[in-house]
Chains A and B, each alone.
Chain A
Amino acid sequence: MSAVLRTAGLSKRWGAFYANRDVSVAFEQGARHALIGPNGAGKTTFIDLLTGTVAPSAGRVYLDGDDITTLAPHRRVKRGIARTFQASTLFPSLTVLESVMLAVCEREGRGGAGWRALASETAASSEALAILDALHLGAESDSTTRTLAYGKQRLLEIALALATRPRMLLLDEPAAGIPAKESVEVLGAIARLPREVTVVFIEHDMDLVFRFAERITVLVAGSVLAEGAPDEIAADPRVREVYLGEIPQGEAPLA
């Protein structure tokens, strides 16, 4: 099996409510894998479990076959798992460049260095600038994060994740809030990342999902409803049933 990351019977319970129930999914090396499902299906919770932001109630998470279920979030990052957050989770008072540089420094193991100024980390700053340029954020590098427009904050989320040089990139609705034209561009850029990087993305816009995903997992009410190639998913009657009525006519290729 060439699964980079896989889960076995993963569950998360809040009180009596299962946000995830017995989820077993494998992400193949180099995959472009979409995670879809209605609001409240437990997609974000699943990412939280994969990254260690939230501890599971049951089940295991394996990275390269190693059990990482109880590994601290920052150690998973060191092992190559990076994520973005659905609700922008950034550093409001730091500048865009500083934020990305912090991520680069952490990756290089220099995040705890206490004597030289962050500004003098020239290697980190040119790498950070390159990442920002690639995401069309170069012009904003000196802006304070809190002054950024919402769409740009979404891009900064992605920049931060890329700066960790992930092998496994988990994107929670990366395109939400970005103008349609740009969101195609952004997801395109991500899909074109080298195949050493496995990409999992949550997305509600079915256009984008079917354009960029090579594999799709459908979560409903915390459980996996279906999984397969895009055409299989599009043809799956159970999936159509869940999505019928949810998506206005003509907007989804499913309809």
Chain B
Amino acid sequence: MAGSAERREPPRRAAAPAPRRGSLSDGRWRPLEVAFWAGTLAAYFAFPAWHVLGSQILITGLFAVSLDIVLGYAGIVSLGHAAFFGVGAYVAGLLAANGWHEPLSALGAAALAAAVAGYLASFLVVRGTDLTRLTVTLGIGLMLWEAANRASSITGGVDGLSGVTLAPILGRWTFDLRGDVAYAYALVVVFAVFTGVRRIVSSPFGRSLVGIRESSTRMAAIGAPVERRLRAAFTLGAAIAGIAGALIAQTTQFVGIDALSFERSAEVLVMLVLGGAGRLYGGLVGALVFMVAQNGLAGIDPVYWQFWLGCLLVVVVLFFREGILGGAANLAARARGRRR
């Protein structure tokens, strides 16, 4: 029909489309990506003493990726994303503490529970202004924390949930104290989920989320059901946060109530922004940098940690807006410009 608008000029470039389309992300793994994942694999052998920390970095990275879907792609600012992390952690932990020791099915159950929680919450979240979204997500997080605190006979309250015992994965690999199995398990699950996320963000659905973030008015004007899309994104983000929570519960065999805390919601926000929101690898890189730094400063008083975290936030916002990956991309672009 648009073709009928122009009779003058037959498209002159029969050969052009193929190279042109190459610039859309077509799902092929780029060398840097391969290097990144090869690095996570190599780390297993290179740092055998650090498997526990390594698994936590991977898991927290996945948690940050889940927030990236909600915030970086769909543009929903959430102050309570830990709610879904916590739901996943408690579901996996409670199953294991109450006789269901098989880890993979518990992982699925945790994802499902977090997805349901996210879906219900999404109705409150996607409408309304940023202020409403902030308030509601913060409120949901606090309410869940309070619920876990009150139900201490089930959850262990502030003492945390212990007695989480797991059967060997697939009947073969038993979780060990050095974290060897934990690291491998976390790596496999995180990589698998990440691969899915990677597909989703370059799909029409994923691109439409970017469209909604940049102009929901225009997105509606090309016929997209904006609220439904946002609800789907929020649910997906919640489900993946739930998987991350379940992984933490399973690999540490413990669930602390801080899994639901505001601090955790804030920290994951910091990691994501530090790494670069809306950039797929931003969450993973942010978690890596953040947790290595945190671990390096492990000896210090938590009060100072909070102080430095606050300073980091202020500085990132004022001077370092696009995160590590954004800054790196800018540098790379500049270097390319210079070479020309």
Contact = CB atoms under 8 A, between A and B. Distances in A.
B203 A77 contact: no
Contacts of A69: none
B218 A90 contact: yes
A134 B8 CA distance: 9
B26 A77 contact: no
B202 A118 contact: yes
B37 interface: no
Contacts of B165: none
Pick from B9, B20, B200, B202 the residue with the most CB of A within 10 Å: B20
- State the main secondary structure of chain B at its contact with A: helix
Contacts of A133: 6, 9, 11
B204 interface: yes
B203 A163 contact: no
A68 B114 CA distance: 37
A142 B16 CA distance: 12
A121 B220 CA distance: 21
A171 interface: no
A110 B5 contact: no
B211 A102 contact: yes
B4 A91 contact: no
A91 B211 contact: yes
Interface in B194-222: 199-200, 202-208, 210-211, 214-215, 217-222
B48 interface: no
Nearest to B17: A129
Nearest to B205: A114
Interface stretch (A28-36, A189-197, A233-241): A189-197
A106 B224 contact: yes
B229 interface: yes
A119 interface: yes
B204 to A, nearest CB: 4
Interface residues on B, range: 35 or more
A149 interface: no
B3 to A, nearest CB: 5
Nearest to A77: B223
B20 A142 contact: yes
Contacts of B9: 133
A234 B54 CA distance: 77
A112 B204 contact: yes
Contacts of B218: 85, 89-91, 160
Contacts of A72: 220, 225
Given A111-B208, A112-B229, A142-B23, A82 B203 contact: no
B214 A77 contact: no
Contact of B210 (A93, A113, A119): A93
A53 B205 contact: no
Interface in A189-229: 189-190, 192-194, 197
Interface of B: 1-6, 9, 11, 13, 17, 20-21, 23-27, 199-200, 202-208, 210-211, 214-215, 217-226, 228-229, 232
23 contacts: A53-B221, A90-B215, A94-B214, A102-B207, A102-B208, A106-B222, A107-B223, A111-B205, A111-B223, A112-B232, A115-B200, A117-B25, A119-B25, A119-B26, A125-B17, A134-B2, A159-B2, A160-B218, A160-B221, A162-B1, A165-B1, A189-B5, A190-B5
